[in-house]
Amino acid sequence: MIDETASGVYTIACTPFMPDGALDLGSVDTMVDFYAECGATGLTILGMMGEAGKLSAAESEAVIRRVTARTDLPVVVGVSSPGFAAMEALSKTAMDAGAAGVMIAPAGGLKTDGQIIDYYHNVAETVADAPWVLQDFPLATNVVIPTEVILRIVADCPGCVMLKHEDWPGLAKISALRAASDAGDARRISILCGNAGLFLVEEMGRGADGAMTGFAYPEMMRDVVSRMQAGDETAARDIFDAYLPLVRYESQPGLGLSVRKHILAQRGAIAHPTVRRPGGGLAAAAQAEVATMIARQEARLAALA
Amino acid sequence: MIDETASGVYTIACTPFMPDGALDLGSVDTMVDFYAECGATGLTILGMMGEAGKLSAAESEAVIRRVTARTDLPVVVGVSSPGFAAMEALSKTAMDAGAAGVMIAPAGGLKTDGQIIDYYHNVAETVADAPWVLQDFPLATNVVIPTEVILRIVADCPGCVMLKHEDWPGLAKISALRAASDAGDARRISILCGNAGLFLVEEMGRGADGAMTGFAYPEMMRDVVSRMQAGDETAARDIFDAYLPLVRYESQPGLGLSVRKHILAQRGAIAHPTVRRPGGGLAAAAQAEVATMIARQEARLAALA
Amino acid sequence: MIDETASGVYTIACTPFMPDGALDLGSVDTMVDFYAECGATGLTILGMMGEAGKLSAAESEAVIRRVTARTDLPVVVGVSSPGFAAMEALSKTAMDAGAAGVMIAPAGGLKTDGQIIDYYHNVAETVADAPWVLQDFPLATNVVIPTEVILRIVADCPGCVMLKHEDWPGLAKISALRAASDAGDARRISILCGNAGLFLVEEMGRGADGAMTGFAYPEMMRDVVSRMQAGDETAARDIFDAYLPLVRYESQPGLGLSVRKHILAQRGAIAHPTVRRPGGGLAAAAQAEVATMIARQEARLAALA
Amino acid sequence: MIDETASGVYTIACTPFMPDGALDLGSVDTMVDFYAECGATGLTILGMMGEAGKLSAAESEAVIRRVTARTDLPVVVGVSSPGFAAMEALSKTAMDAGAAGVMIAPAGGLKTDGQIIDYYHNVAETVADAPWVLQDFPLATNVVIPTEVILRIVADCPGCVMLKHEDWPGLAKISALRAASDAGDARRISILCGNAGLFLVEEMGRGADGAMTGFAYPEMMRDVVSRMQAGDETAARDIFDAYLPLVRYESQPGLGLSVRKHILAQRGAIAHPTVRRPGGGLAAAAQAEVATMIARQEARLAALA
């Protein structure tokens, strides 16, 4: 089970598909192995970049079972749903299959502080005993969660053990949350950062515990997190900067997933780069840009070694 | 099966719950009987006001089976889903259970004309042989569908046989769609109107074929539609105006469902007025307002008789 | 100057234009006289329905001066602006010209409770000594202001003397605000209601002090408000119900202003029904619907008399 | 006057303020000189990052006059306004003062393709003889403009000579626009790219003519654009990558302007880093992060030289 001490790199796993759009469960295995070899501390499945919304209930269950059967790493399962009944069913499936926790983004349409707090009170009741991750991703959800609201949820809901941080800009929020727990005014929870890793060095510097994102080179996250934990910001920045052109390119909303799956397929992690409809492949021009950046990235990493 | 000639009143059915939030399948039966007695031509289940988003996949299936087993009226099933895999599964369940068609609102986040058209091309492929209803409800979906886009979808997708019209303001759209089919430029599809019935007289006057909404007095829709079909606008307006204070009150977003279930429970259609969380009951002040309006409505209908 | 005791009917004034879109200052005079004759207690100019956003700064100033020169009724001026500098300039112009107060809707894009509170702190500093009205209109602004936030603003900002209430549904908010001031927990401010008057009877019943909206028959508001103040809800509802079909028709977003100006021109209040681009005239079908409703309305009012 | 052949670097100029929020016209002069020395081909003032919305009409005019008096570089003036009357007044002021063109982002709330096209038809009529720039920035405006709509506007409006491109992801849009003009199906207009410069190399590779953004080191844009125009992508990427950590940091919505003004003040371009309320200064932690990045950037540039 995940708890407030979780740290390191929880890779946001993609969901592999066959060229015709069917689930590719064989690639689930190779992908899980790939992430583990690249230094993942844990996995997060059925997140937004895992195309969770495009799966049927039966497919979601199949993915959960395949992943948890393949690895001993802690697995967090995204269970965001339009309603609490579906969330409860999926959460139960996940925990019964051996997941280490669940993750929930706020429902679209929440506006006021009070609505957000009420929502997570309902979430806490719905997922019952499962430890859970609050996903704070305003660019995708259009729900802005102020620091005070996070602190209130943390105070009210003991099951909330982690923040998936991807507010943007969000560095000040990390500082504020850490100031609150450092002052003894709040329980300290784990903060793992998303946003494609685009601010990972600064996030670690502000007090984050690691990364939870799906950049196609998880070793970047592993190395940046470990260097920052070791207090060597210069080394962390050297590595980070080498990958930054590609991190930036993969951070494009929507298109980023096509980039990511293209690279994961090239690296052998999955068999096909297929994004389920309505998605799309990577145009030739984009493939060429990616190839250029990878070549430069490798040269720069070699120079660092 | 529904087709382009459908007309009359397709009542948007609520989903009955027990006080603890569990499905109340017994009330499904009484509700179906009630709607039939009030003059429904058909039923639409699992729409937004049917709290579809709050049901698990298993609960949705249970509701579909219970309703189709209870009635010979044509049943349209809302199958809007975040992704096409879930839509396909729910659509298949519905049609196998004897539904007469399915209904799909656009996914949130669609912006451009082209995105909306592509979406419904995918819908058409997903629901396969099922005749389907395009639900046009910008206030709820935040997706605005211009008349030309509807016409394009109608042209491209033979399975699209009906528009659930609830754009607001939307009278000009009905006129434009009818002008296009009258001129032979477009296939004429059925147009049934939602928006709580708030513009039903004018909608019929512009060329709609009936109503598809869930006002707690379906007999209003039955009588207004039949009077307008008979060409007696004065009689239609007399009836409509008698109900209008309550129609207006029930049209309040969100709160309206509590009003509706409160009245349906009072009328014996369902056992409990429960709205599933995050919903809520009807405050005493609102109950009193509703009681006043019902008393006035009955007096006025009596005076008309 | 307006203060917390303001009550009655503050008519939302339209801005009259010539057929070519130029300001029609002559019609400003006739319109002001018309509103006064129909029983307006005050006027609100340069609101959303006053097409404020379509005026240049010089035009706004001309309208303010013309209105305040024509009447001794208290005039509230909408000064909502994208930034505080423009708000300050317009507010100063208004108060120098003899306005009784200013009105400010929240800037689009405000999300959290704290952002809204901060915004109105800045408003209070910006409008300085002018008494001001908080306009709460989520359908138009996309900003949802919870009751607690309103109470906080009222507590922090002595200059906030009135709420223009047009949340929807919003009856519970009126009840909550009145409960707070009745209990001595909050300063009691004036609440005048908008939303095209669609819920005016219930709003008065919940504790509102009157109406602030621009329905083309201000006498409806005058009579409903006075009857409710006199405790005669039945008489108030009789009058309200007579006008309701047209109130409902005029409440259509966007289109409603064309309806309103069409009727005001017919009634002689303004010379031309012109809505500035991007607006539009009223289609023939809509004009016919309006004519039918007016005829029925007159018959029904005659029967009441 | 700008025309379809414009290329190079149009720096998005900030608006300098005194610590108390008053306009700092003296800094306007130093800033204009600074941009020219850094290689700007032109200037764009009163854009979103120029805090245009926070200025009164009089202040906007003062800024326009001061800038155009100071430089012979072509000056594009942002004239986006809630209504066309204000747009017309500001556009006239700008052109009379010697501006080279105006820039207009779509009004918030535009949804359908047809609404956007109608809007720009009105824009074209409003700005009359001024050559104008279509600003395509969905992240800020929430209006998504498909490629076909841009092509339609270009076809209908001869005054539209430039696209300020900041869709995200937007590389495919540049490719599509260039494919259309290369095929002779569309007039070729200038494309200058915003988005803080985050994709400048790729944008140039896809056919853009330069940059229009306000990164605090305009020399980056100058050098990347000139290297790409010279066909030396490797040199362009070397320079770009050196600045990328800071480009990324400055691209944070909202906060980015504080970063930019902080650096511009440090570089002596403006006297004070003040952002007008509701803005804010740069926290100490952020200042430290910026300092670290600048030191690394200088080292890396030195190594390139």
Domain residues of chain C, as ranges? 8-230
The rounded percent of chain D whose pLDDT value lies above 90 is: 96
What is the distance in angstroms between the Cα of B242 and the nearest Cα belonging to chain D?
36
Contact assessment for residue B268 and residue B224, using Cβ atoms and an 8 Å cutoff: no
| Of residues B175, B248, B283, nearest to C248 (C-beta) | B248
Beta bridge partners of C101: C76
Instruction: Give the SS3 label for residue D45.
Output: strand
Neighbours of B69 (CB within 10 A): 12
Place of tokens 């108390």: D20
B118 vs A: CB within 8 A: yes
Which chain C residues contact residue D57 at CB under 8 A? 56-57, 86, 89
Phi first, then psi: give them for residue A49, nearest 5 degrees.
Answer: -75, -5
**DSSP single-letter state for residue B71:** -
A146 vs C: CB within 8 A: yes
Contact assessment for residue C272 and residue C22, using Cβ atoms and an 8 Å cutoff: no
CA distances from C86 to D140, D273, D274 (A): 21, 22, 19
CA pair distance A15, A9, nearest whole angstrom: 18
| Of residues B57, B84, B118, nearest to A57 (C-beta) | B57
Q: What is the mean pLDDT of chain C?
A: 97
Instruction: Give the SS3 label for residue C101.
Output: strand
What are the residues whose beta carbons fall under 8 Å from the beta carbon of A19, sequence distance 6 or more? A272, A274
Its sign, for the CA torsion A245, A251, A252, A257, is positive
Beta bridge partners of C163: C134, C191
Per-residue confidence (pLDDT) for residue A190, from 0 to 100:
98
Per-residue confidence (pLDDT) for residue A139, from 0 to 100:
93
SS (H, E, C) B112-128: CHHHHHHHHHHHHHHHC
Instruction: Give the SS3 label for residue B229.
Output: helix
Size of interface B-D (CB pairs under 8 A): 23
Instruction: Give the SS3 label for residue C207.
Output: coil
Asked whether the beta carbons of residue B113 and residue D111 sit closer than 8 angstroms, the reply is no
Q: Indicate the annotated binding residues of A for pyruvate.
A: 212
CA pair distance C215, C194, nearest whole angstrom: 9
Asked whether the beta carbons of residue D248 and residue A248 sit closer than 8 angstroms, the reply is yes
Q: What is the mean pLDDT of chain B?
A: 97
Q: Is the pLDDT of residue C280 over 90?
A: no
Scanning every residue of chain A, which has its alpha carbon at the shortest distance from the alpha carbon of B120? A278
**Mean pLDDT along residues C99-125:** 97
Phi first, then psi: give them for residue B133, nearest 5 degrees.
Answer: -110, 130
pLDDT one digit per residue (tens) for chain D, 305 residues: 999 999 999 999 999 999 999 999 999 999 999 999 999 999 999 998 999 999 999 999 999 999 999 999 999 999 999 999 999 999 999 999 999 999 999 998 999 999 999 999 999 999 999 999 999 999 999 999 999 999 999 999 999 999 999 999 999 999 999 999 999 999 999 999 999 999 999 999 999 999 999 999 999 999 999 999 999 999 999 999 999 999 999 999 989 999 999 999 999 999 999 999 988 889 999 999 999 999 999 999 999 98
**C221 assigned ligand-binding residue:** no
C56 vs A: CB within 8 A: no
Phi first, then psi: give them for residue C22, nearest 5 degrees.
Answer: -70, 155
Scanning every residue of chain D, which has its alpha carbon at the shortest distance from the alpha carbon of C126? D277
On the 0-12 / 13-18 / 19+ scale of CB atoms within 10 A, B296 is middle
Asked whether the beta carbons of residue C289 and residue B202 sit closer than 8 angstroms, the reply is yes
What is the distance in angstroms between the Cα of C82 and the nearest Cα belonging to chain D?
5
Q: What is the mean pLDDT of chain A?
A: 97
| Of residues B206, B286, B292, nearest to C285 (C-beta) | B206
CA pair distance C168, C140, nearest whole angstrom: 11
CA pair distance B213, B145, nearest whole angstrom: 20
Size of interface C-D (CB pairs under 8 A): 59
Which chain B residues contact residue A257 at CB under 8 A? none
Which residue intervals of chain B are DSSP H helices? 25-37, 57-70, 84-96, 113-127, 138-141, 147-156, 171-182, 200-206, 218-229, 233-250, 255-266, 284-304
C84 vs D: CB within 8 A: yes
The rounded percent of chain B whose pLDDT value lies above 90 is: 97
Neighbours of D25 (CB within 10 A): 16
What is the distance in angstroms between the Cα of D135 and the nearest Cα belonging to chain A?
19
What is the distance in angstroms between the Cα of B140 and the nearest Cα belonging to chain D?
15
Asked whether the beta carbons of residue B169 and residue C285 sit closer than 8 angstroms, the reply is no
- CA C216 remoteness from chain centre: 12
Write out pLDDT tens, residues B64-75.
Answer: 999 999 999 999
Asked whether the beta carbons of residue C289 and residue B237 sit closer than 8 angstroms, the reply is no
Q: How confident is the model at residue B185 (pLDDT cuts 50, 70, 90)?
A: very high
Contact assessment for residue B223 and residue B237, using Cβ atoms and an 8 Å cutoff: no
**Mean pLDDT along residues B155-173:** 97
Scanning every residue of chain D, which has its alpha carbon at the shortest distance from the alpha carbon of A195? D252
What is the distance in angstroms between the Cα of A305 and the nearest Cα belonging to chain B?
45
Which chain C residues contact residue A113 at CB under 8 A? 112-114, 146
Asked whether the beta carbons of residue A114 and residue C144 sit closer than 8 angstroms, the reply is no
| Of residues D168, D253, D254, nearest to A252 (C-beta) | D168
CA pair distance A260, C282, nearest whole angstrom: 52
User: What single letter denotes the amino acid at residue A127?
Assistant: V
| Of residues B244, B252, B285, nearest to C244 (C-beta) | B244
What is the distance in angstroms between the Cα of C190 and the nearest Cα belonging to chain B?
21
**Mean pLDDT along residues C188-199:** 97
D138 vs A: CB within 8 A: no
Residue A283's nearest CA partner among A258, A305, A246, A302 is A258
CA distances from C189 to A110, B17, C160, C164, D53 (A): 28, 40, 8, 11, 31
C113 vs A: CB within 8 A: yes
Contact assessment for residue A204 and residue A239, using Cβ atoms and an 8 Å cutoff: no
Which chain C residues contact residue B197 at CB under 8 A? none
What is the distance in angstroms between the Cα of B62 and the nearest Cα belonging to chain A?
14
Its sign, for the CA torsion B40, B44, B46, B50, is negative
Which chain B residues contact residue D110 at CB under 8 A? none
Kind and range of the H or E run holding C45: strand C42-45
Per-residue confidence (pLDDT) for residue D278, from 0 to 100:
84
Asked whether the beta carbons of residue C253 and residue B169 sit closer than 8 angstroms, the reply is yes
If you write DSSP's letter for every residue of B236-303 in order, what string do you get?
HHHHHHHHHHHHHHHTSTTHHHHHHHHHHHHTTSSS-----SS-----HHHHHHHHHHHHHHHHHHHH
D56 vs C: CB within 8 A: yes
Q: How confident is the model at residue B156 (pLDDT cuts 50, 70, 90)?
A: very high
Beta bridge partners of C162: C133, C190
Per-residue confidence (pLDDT) for residue C279, from 0 to 100:
81
D53 vs C: CB within 8 A: yes
Test mutation, A111, A116, A150, A167, chain C, max C CBs within 10 A: A111
Asked whether the beta carbons of residue A86 and residue B56 sit closer than 8 angstroms, the reply is yes
What is the distance in angstroms between the Cα of B119 and the nearest Cα belonging to chain A?
8
**DSSP single-letter state for residue D197:** G
C148 vs A: CB within 8 A: yes
Contact assessment for residue D14 and residue D216, using Cβ atoms and an 8 Å cutoff: no
Asked whether the beta carbons of residue B55 and residue A119 sit closer than 8 angstroms, the reply is no
Vertex D170: Cα angle to D164 and D173 (nearest 5): 85
Q: How confident is the model at residue C249 (pLDDT cuts 50, 70, 90)?
A: very high
Q: How confident is the model at residue C126 (pLDDT cuts 50, 70, 90)?
A: very high
Write out pLDDT tens, residues D269-299.
Answer: 999 999 999 888 899 999 999 999 999 999 9
Q: Helix, strand, coil shares of chain A as percentages rounded to 5?
A: 50, 10, 35
What is the distance in angstroms between the Cα of D79 and the nearest Cα belonging to chain C?
12
A303 vs D: CB within 8 A: no
CATH topology of domain C8-230: TIM Barrel (3.20.20)
A234 vs C: CB within 8 A: no
If you write DSSP's letter for every residue of D249-267 in order, what string do you get?
HHTSTTHHHHHHHHHHHHT
Neighbours of D37 (CB within 10 A): 11
Per-residue confidence (pLDDT) for residue B10, from 0 to 100:
98
Which residue intervals of D128-199 are DSSP H helices? 138-141, 147-156, 171-182
User: What single letter denotes the amino acid at residue B282?
Assistant: L
CA pair distance C112, B75, nearest whole angstrom: 42
CA distances from A28 to A15, A48, A66, A136 (A): 7, 17, 7, 27
What are the residues whose beta carbons fall under 8 Å from the beta carbon of D290, sequence distance 6 or more? D246, D249, D259, D262, D263, D282
Phi first, then psi: give them for residue A281, nearest 5 degrees.
Answer: -80, 180
If you write DSSP's letter for every residue of C152-185 in order, what string do you get?
HHHHH-TTEEEEEE--SS-HHHHHHHHHHHHTTS
Asked whether the beta carbons of residue B169 and residue C202 sit closer than 8 angstroms, the reply is no
Write out pLDDT tens, residues A17-64.
Answer: 999 999 999 999 999 999 999 999 999 999 989 999 999 999 999 999
Per-residue confidence (pLDDT) for residue D80, from 0 to 100:
96
Scanning every residue of chain A, which has its alpha carbon at the shortest distance from the alpha carbon of B54? A83
* Ramachandran quadrant class, B64 (left: phi over 0; alpha: psi -120 to 50; beta: rest): alpha
CA pair distance B204, B226, nearest whole angstrom: 10
Q: Tell me the whole-structure pTM to 2 decimals.
A: 0.97
In chain D, the DSSP E strands lie at 8-12, 42-45, 75-78, 101-104, 132-136, 160-165, 190-193, 210-211
Which chain A residues contact residue C113 at CB under 8 A? 112-114, 146
